[in-house]
Structure 1
């Protein structure tokens, strides 16, 4: 595996690789875990060359404290990537990715206006900025994203449409979980031992809601999930929305969508955790 720090070197290496076959890109913000490794494994299976970017993107953080405390584990990340068979690890500086301020404003539409878009103003525009740059730097055949960030995938698909990345395949991959159900996240390392013991409640309640939803209205299901989680210590549901999987728009009745998805954000102490579940109708 080669570690690459500059766009010029990356493009030179990938120019050669492109002549030999397909390129798979896995964009990450580092602090890699088994969820990232599952994306890399999928990319390795489906492409001739695999690139993983490790970059904590400042433009998608609307909370300076969150940016400052986001875990950075470059040495450990490099070891995991090498063990997973990555060909190129792109680990640039902020100055390399943003040699000048990126003032682009993306017309991301309704998919970016709800849930995370409403709670974190500017977040998805920052995601679109950095991911569009990574796509231009690497010109991948396929790019891999985890379904834990369910809304983000819809936003990236919209950005791809806006920016005209023709022929680029966005591959969404299932959520990877701990044995107790907690969705893997780089933020999990910030949980105290007591918080970590409670955090799996999120996934457990979401799974139980699949059964409740057979008998409950959509509104009652939402209320049951929120009330049940909030009973536990440290836990505070920021939002729980049941949305259409394609439009990301909240629905009021089960009959309004063929693919309802429940998307949740919960503060466990001061650590913000997200998860989701698909309801089968």
Structure 2
């Protein structure tokens, strides 16, 4: 398995194997790999000649220093998982110095307002950090296709916007959410949950599926009030936000339009561990 810790050697290697017709698939991750990540990689392996995976805990997208410090880092285990999946995967595991050249600061982006909704309201500067790292990785790898999970649907839309505005030649592909046996959306942060917390977190998707059932007949205000009560009765969970939004603009829906696609978004704190999820409503 090819592992690169510096961008110069990675770029040289990719240039040596690239042809005019070959394709490179790319899966950016922050490590602590789970089956959801591996599913993205499997799709890339099927659709491209070469697959590159990055593992990099990006400091500029964390507005909470404690969250950054506690984010799981399991590079040795991750390498084993990648090797078992396919030893031909190319791994890029850079240092902060290699990515940021000694200046770990974010660029400023205009995502046409997508960055001001949901996650953006609760994590100031987060999407500037996301835009910065994804843009740099795309420029280093020069990938044909890049794969992102729909659990981070707002991030997916923002990456697509960044690609369009910067005229980058990469296809951004959203992939279905991969869930645990109790339907909790797979996330590296799940590793920080206790067994009890992980089990009880099943309420998040149960609430979302109930929201989908209610969406056809009830107003968004009524649904939102019901969601608030659902978590208000549970002392182990703190509802950070719930919203029903237009998939394209991410603006909250106050009045339904049959010609628009809507999605429910939720963020919940479990023992100060932040879990997000989403579901398409129509």
Q: CA deviation at 1:46?
A: 0.4
Deviations 1:205-230 (A, max 9, x none): 11112212222111111221232133
Which runs of at least 4 in structure 1 moved beyond 3 Å after TM superposition? none
Q: Which runs of 5+ in 1 are unaligned?
A: none
Identify the range of structure 1 (21-30 vs 195-204) with the bigger mean alpha-carbon deviation: 195-204
Equivalent position of 1:125 in the other structure: 128
Q: CA deviation at 1:103?
A: 4.8
Equivalent position of 2:277 in the other structure: 275
CA contact (8 A) 1:17 1:23 kept: no
Whether 1:31 and 2:32 are equivalent positions in the alignment is yes
Q: Partners of 2:232 and 2:153 in 1: how far apart?
A: 23
TM-score for both structures, normalised by structure 1: 0.96
Pairing of 1:102-113 with structure 2 (within 5 A): 102-113=105-116
Equivalent position of 2:12 in the other structure: 12
Match of 1:164 among 164, 167, 172: 167
Equivalent position of 2:233 in the other structure: 231
Q: Partners of 1:256 and 1:98 in 2: how far apart?
A: 45
Identify the range of structure 1 (228-237 vs 267-276) with the bigger mean alpha-carbon deviation: 228-237
Q: Which secondary structure does the structure 1 equivalent of 2:52 belong to?
A: strand
CA contact (8 A) 2:106 2:128 kept: no
Equivalent position of 1:116 in the other structure: 119
Q: Partners of 1:18 and 1:227 in 2: how far apart?
A: 55
Q: CA deviation at 1:16?
A: 2.2
Deviations 1:7-31 (A, max 9, x none): 0111011112321610000000000
CA contact (8 A) 2:25 2:146 kept: yes
Q: Partners of 1:269 and 1:104 in 2: how far apart?
A: 32
Equivalent position of 2:201 in the other structure: 199
Identify the range of structure 1 (231-240 vs 251-260) with the bigger mean alpha-carbon deviation: 251-260
Q: Partners of 2:275 and 2:228 in 1: how far apart?
A: 14
Q: Partners of 1:200 and 1:17 in 2: how far apart?
A: 45
Equivalent position of 2:223 in the other structure: 221
Whether 1:180 and 2:182 are equivalent positions in the alignment is yes
CA contact (8 A) 1:17 1:49 kept: no
Pairing of 1:2-81 with structure 2 (within 5 A): 2-19=2-19, 21-81=22-82
Identify the range of structure 1 (171-180 vs 221-230) with the bigger mean alpha-carbon deviation: 221-230
Q: Partners of 2:10 and 2:97 in 1: how far apart?
A: 15
Q: CA deviation at 1:65?
A: 0.3
Q: Partners of 2:83 and 2:166 in 1: how far apart?
A: 32
Give the count of matched residue pairs: 279
Deviations 1:76-102 (A, max 9, x none): 100111122252100011110011324
CA contact (8 A) 1:105 1:125 kept: yes
Q: CA deviation at 1:104?
A: 2.1
Identify the range of structure 1 (189-198 vs 147-156) with the bigger mean alpha-carbon deviation: 189-198
Q: Which secondary structure does the structure 2 equivalent of 1:164 belong to?
A: coil
Q: Partners of 1:211 and 1:270 in 2: how far apart?
A: 29
Match of 2:242 among 235, 240, 243: 240
Identify the range of structure 1 (41-50 vs 213-222) with the bigger mean alpha-carbon deviation: 213-222
Identify the range of structure 1 (246-255 vs 39-48) with the bigger mean alpha-carbon deviation: 246-255
CA contact (8 A) 1:128 1:159 kept: yes
Q: Partners of 2:106 and 2:266 in 1: how far apart?
A: 30
